[in-house]
Amino acid sequence: MLLEQKTSADGTLIGIWKIEETEEELLLLFDGKETVLHQIEPVSNPVKRCEKLAVRALLKTLTGYEKRIIYMPSGKPALSDRSFNISISHTKGYAAIALNKHKIVGLDIEAISNRACRINHRFMSIKEREALDKSNEAVVSLLNWSAKETVYKLMSKEGVDFQKEVFIAPFAIDDNQLLATESHTDANKQFIIYFEVTAQYVLTSGVAR
């Protein structure tokens, strides 16, 4: 079911779907059932099939139409009618979409866990780890990972080193946004990444500038 729909400060339409339905229940939400089934035909894992159906159900809810999602050679998703730039993410029990008519968009959703905290030395620099709020280390580590995933999607570049080439400036959870900088390209672009923290997940999003 649709859990949340909002428009971020940069004009991006964001939706979150809580995946509680079976595949059969999700299919009932579509008029073009056979078309949707054809799109997920290569996927055999039942959980992954429900994730893909939830993404398409969310897309229909946000736009009012049953739009077709295609994938570029890089794996980046796009809409076949090019009506929006799209970014897609899913995590345990949730699917999320970001849509923007005019700008490249990136989005990531991550279920709350301690995993990012345990391995933050792999994707965070020493400077970033020193700036961590130790009282919220698990969530802040997860936000760092999620924000870097969002930056990666915005850059659309292969071989980005999260630890050495994407830097997250110190931030507080109450800020609801953070500043990210990349050094993978000569442009050294900066990105404002908006974030949301709940008891179940963190969500990050932004647009290319």
**CATH code where residue 192 lies:** 3.90.470
Whole-angstrom distance, CA of residue 141 vs CA of residue 129: 8
> Is 94 a residue whose pLDDT tops 90?
yes
Do 99 and 113 sit in the same domain of this protein? no
Whole-angstrom distance, CA of residue 140 vs CA of residue 116: 9
CB 184 within 8 A of CB 157: yes
CB 116 within 8 A of CB 81: no
Do 179 and 140 sit in the same domain of this protein? yes
Do 60 and 9 sit in the same domain of this protein? yes
Q: What value does the mean pLDDT take over residues 75-98?
A: 97
Residue after which a domain boundary falls, among 82, 103, 124: 103
Whole-angstrom distance, CA of residue 73 vs CA of residue 105: 18
For residue 203, what are its two tokens? Answer: 């969500």
Do 17 and 42 sit in the same domain of this protein? yes
Do 118 and 155 sit in the same domain of this protein? yes
What are the pLDDT digits (tens) for 22-73? 999 999 999 988 999 998 999 999 999 999 999 999 999 999 999 999 999 8
pLDDT at 74: 84
Do 49 and 88 sit in the same domain of this protein? yes
Residue after which a domain boundary falls, among 51, 71, 103: 103
Do 45 and 84 sit in the same domain of this protein? yes
pTM: 0.95
Do 98 and 120 sit in the same domain of this protein? no
Task: Calculate ∠ Cα 130-110-168, nearest 5°.
Answer: 30
Do 52 and 118 sit in the same domain of this protein? no
Do 96 and 130 sit in the same domain of this protein? no
Do 90 and 55 sit in the same domain of this protein? yes
| Domain range enclosing 61 | 2-103
Whole-angstrom distance, CA of residue 114 vs CA of residue 63: 35
How many structural domains comprise the chain?
2
Do 51 and 134 sit in the same domain of this protein? no
Residue after which a domain boundary falls, among 88, 103, 118: 103
29: domain CATH number is 3.90.470.20
What are the pLDDT digits (tens) for 123-171? 999 999 999 988 999 999 999 999 999 999 999 898 999 999 999 999 9
